[in-house]
Amino acid sequence: MITRPLDLASRPRRMPRNFDAFYFINAGLIVLFFLMFGSRFVLAPGLGVGLKGGFALPAMEGAKATAVATNVFISMPRPGVVLVADEGKIDFTQLDGWLQARAKEHKAPVLLIRADGSVPMQDIADIEARATAAGFIYVQVAFEESAVEK
């Protein structure tokens, strides 16, 4: 019985001893594409608004009537966590410097605090005091308009 009719084990060529120039060109192009089109985040960080179990603003009757235009905002998805747009997650010790830098960027800085309903008012009041000390002229806390049935 013939178990190896083509005798393929004796026919392969030896591996080349050096790489072609195409290898380095391909590797360089791959690195170039990752640098040009890459992102520092694989998945974009964000806050899921309105998702079950996700970030949810507290509801308040008349919230739309007291709305003001703001030029700086921070998000607090849970107690003790502060998210800012350009740096991501920062702690309360870094927040003072961040607030001072943003207050200097705007002529009339107004801060919007988007806090989840689970964040205690003590954290929000602490951030409001820090923002006022940093030079913000007004601090607004975000609320959803509550659904009133009539």
Structural domains of the chain in order of their starting residue, each with its CATH number: 59-145 (3.30.420.270)
In whole angstroms, what separates CA 20 from the centre of its chain?
42
Give residue-wise pLDDT tens across range 109-147: 888 888 888 888 888 889 999 999 998 988 888 877 766
Give residue-wise pLDDT tens across range 70-105: 788 898 888 888 888 878 888 888 888 999 998 999
Q: Whole-structure pTM over 0.85, yes or no? A: no
Four-residue CA torsion sign, 104, 75, 47, 33:
positive
